[in-house]
Chains A and B, each alone.
Chain A
Amino acid sequence: MSERDTRTGEPDILAELQAEVAQDLADERPPVGGPAYQVVAALVVLAFGVGAAVLAHGYGLGSLRRPGPGLWPFVVSILVAVLGVVLLVIGRRLDDAEKFTRASFLVLAGGATFVGLGILMPTIGFEIPAVLLGIVWLRFLGGETWRSTIVVSIATTAAFYLLFLYALKIPLPHLF
């Protein structure tokens, strides 16, 4: 594509188009996170790379002739760390991070229900936790009415019960 861009002297239609679409999509985007987001992300990447490199070094690098178990992970970790540094330098100007807003608490709550289901399922089966997850997601995260909340959660759980235990014959932990 790049060849075409340079070949024709006229303005780059593709780029124009992308700008137009980006503008359209930008209208629906949440507020942009500032440089702090970028710096933190870059630092996490850097720390991850350095940490992995230290661990990989401990596994034994070997030589190029006889690569040890740590050589490949070590090379890749170094790459991660270097890219982390690059991000630290150039990242400040980027605007592709999204700000955490009040709505981000919804995500936290949603994630918590995932964990809850994971903890409860092995002990009391999947049915009750599944209905509870449905209620939380529909009523509290989704703002549905109580009536549709109850109907959809119970119907969904019943459908999964039939699907997994009878149709697919997969032994999910179940209470009933």
Chain B
Amino acid sequence: MDWNAFLDGFAVVTEPTNLLYCLIGVLIGMLIGVLPGLGPAATMAILLPIAYNAGDPVSAIIMLAGIYYGAQYGGTITSVLLRIPGEASSVVTVFDGFALAKQGKAGTALGIAAIGSFVGATISIIGLTFLGPVIAGYALDFGDPEYAALALLGVLLVATVGNGHMVKALVAAAVGLLLATVGADSFTSANRFTFDTLQLQGGIDFVVVAMGLFGVGEILYNLEERHGKIHVPAAIANIWPSRKDLKEAGPAIGRGSVIGFFLGVLPGGGAVMASLAAYAAEKRVAKDPSRFGRGAIEGVAGPESANNAAATSSFIPLLTIGIPANASMAMLFAALLVVGVTPGPQLIDENPELFWGVINSMYIGNLILLVLSIPLVGIFVKILRVRPAILAPITALITILGVYTINNSVFDIFLMIGFGILGYLMKKTGFEPGPLVLAFVLGSLMESSFRRSMLIFDGDPTGFVTRPISGTILAFLLLVLLLPLLRRVLRRRVTETIEPDHHDEKAELR
């Protein structure tokens, strides 16, 4: 590992502007984590225009990254105090967190969650620091066939492992791939799906799609959902956990961090799955599992450590291979493209100040978050009193004005509104917009590496299977596709009579 580059990264982070952007990022992240409604991916989408307008690209990326991991901290607060998960990844924290709050131990739950989050994230960043360069080194050998296979795997995993019905997720992903082909073909410069309009010739801007589907779509959806009731939480006291609490939660924090780190690296995994797995693991190793759901501190410590560890380690595939592992990482992928950086294994050598600047900003960002969420938690609790109706027009205006600033184009505004309506309708009919956006990002990479591979293979598609790395990736891909079918067959055979299929319940777990 190149220690000089690593230390230079700290020099980048400690520049006052970058520190400021880091602080703003984690603050926004924590805020949207506390407020139900907008998730981190939507917020990052809405704020993507900042990448065009910020003076220094590194600051913009640091800020957007901060939003993502900051949201993991904020989501805990509403889970514990109000029984409303601010973020999907804090859903399981609700069980024991709210139970603890009812016993008057809300402060303890929040304190342990904050410490667990910090430890989980920091362990994950250390892993990222050491593993990142190693993985990037391997990935340098990847050629076009490997990239075609990897992109396909990334899209498929997000579609299959993610929430929602698998076929619907695949539809969304395929539509995303198709939308990515709009515009002049990069090989033959033939116009595709442009309908003779000049505006579509350059292709659809990714940022516009993301802002529409995630940003506008979610704003419109929330307008109808009306999380309008204001909940006023009780005052919390004694946020510092006692030594006994810490001793009880310690092993859970450790286990959660490890589980989260590994699940976060997998495409499609990420924070939501990690927190569920960690909760299940805690329940399994506990001497008395019946305590869970009635205020077991491990039930808060495990999942909260895991979701932060996973949020952090999901940066690994993006920064080292150039494949985003989830929708929020796709936003970061887009932001990197916007500032003129192609994410991939060459990133660490060609842009060391960006690579290490972003990674090291996470050490600092998590420290800031720890401070924000222990001594200053009271302030964030007060924010819960702000009515969502007041925030809605502000986010709407940020979105419209922001998308206009990208190209000074009114056409972009209407395109974004179009995608916003599509996003709303997708949500209403059970299609997740996440796979669409992710496939859209990876679409042109996938097509061009597929076509170049076909040229290398001289038209023989078996070349994908015979090359060792792409062959392995494709085998893994097949496994991923067949696994759910296999499981369903097995489960049906075992529990023919009583048990209903859990598959649809997972769909609702958003």
Contact = CB atoms under 8 A, between A and B. Distances in A.
Q: Do A and B bind each other?
A: yes
Interface centre among B181, B427, B502 (most CB of A within 10 A): B181
B487 interface: yes
B504 A69 contact: no
A63 B459 contact: yes
Nearest to A24: B94
A94 B504 CA distance: 8
A17 B401 contact: no
A15 B283 CA distance: 13
A142 B392 contact: yes
Contacts of B279: 17
A5 B167 CA distance: 23
B394 interface: yes
A142 B390 contact: yes
A80 B171 contact: yes
B431 interface: yes
A45 B175 CA distance: 9
A21 B397 CA distance: 34
A47 interface: no
B225 interface: yes
A106 B226 CA distance: 10
B432 to A, nearest CB: 10
Nearest to A139: B389
A168 B53 contact: yes
A32 B151 CA distance: 34
A145 to B, nearest CB: 11
Interface stretch (B67-75, B116-124, B215-223, B240-248): B215-223
B224 interface: yes
Contact of B508 (A26, A60, A67, A103): A26
Given A24-B94, A59-B190, A118-B410, A67 B401 contact: no
Contacts of B171: 45, 80, 83-84, 87
Interface in A7-55: 8, 12-15, 17-22, 24-26, 29-30, 33, 37-38, 40-41, 45, 48-49, 52, 55
Interface stretch (B17-25, B106-114, B358-366, B413-421): B413-421
B284 A13 contact: yes
A121 interface: yes
A68 B460 CA distance: 15
Interface stretch (B340-348, B371-379, B447-455): B447-455
A1 B277 contact: yes
B287 interface: no
A146 interface: no
Nearest to A157: B397
A107 B439 CA distance: 27
A148 to B, nearest CB: 7
A15 B502 contact: yes
Interface in B196-248: 216, 219-221, 223-226, 228
A65 B506 CA distance: 43
A55 B193 CA distance: 7
A133 B461 contact: no
A141 to B, nearest CB: 6
B3 interface: no
Interface residues of B, number: 85
Given A18-B502, A52-B178, A110-B396, A65 B454 contact: yes
A134 B428 contact: no
Contacts of B273: 1
A83 B170 contact: yes
B404 interface: yes
Given A94-B165, A115-B417, A172-B404, A73 B219 contact: no
A98 B273 CA distance: 24
Contact of A156 (B95, B178, B219, B394): B394
A64 B408 CA distance: 41
A106 B471 CA distance: 51
B393 A152 contact: yes
Interface in B481-510: 483, 487, 490, 502, 504-510
A84 B172 CA distance: 11
B441 interface: no
Nearest to B403: A118
A69 B188 contact: yes
A65 B400 contact: no
Contacts of B280: 13-14, 17
A85 B447 CA distance: 24
Given A2-B487, A114-B420, A18 B192 contact: no
B164 A96 contact: yes
A76 interface: yes
B309 interface: no
Interface centre among A67, A68, A87, A90 (most CB of B within 10 A): A67
A17 B276 contact: yes
Nearest to A151: B390
Nearest to A79: B174
A162 to B, nearest CB: 13
B405 A18 contact: no
A59 to B, nearest CB: 6
Contacts of A49: 174
Nearest to B424: A107
B506 A22 contact: yes
A80 B167 contact: no
A72 B276 contact: no
Given A60-B190, A164-B401, A137 B393 contact: yes
6 contacts: A17-B92, A65-B455, A69-B188, A71-B451, A113-B396, A141-B223
Interface of A: 1-2, 5-6, 8, 12-15, 17-22, 24-26, 29-30, 33, 37-38, 40-41, 45, 48-49, 52, 55-56, 59-60, 63-73, 76-77, 79-80, 83-84, 86-87, 90-91, 94-98, 100-101, 103-104, 106-107, 110-111, 113-115, 117-118, 121-122, 126, 130, 133-134, 137-138, 141-144, 148, 152-153, 156-157, 160, 164, 168, 170-172
Given A22-B506, A133-B393, 6 more contacts: A12-B502, A22-B509, A133-B397, A138-B389, A142-B390, A144-B387
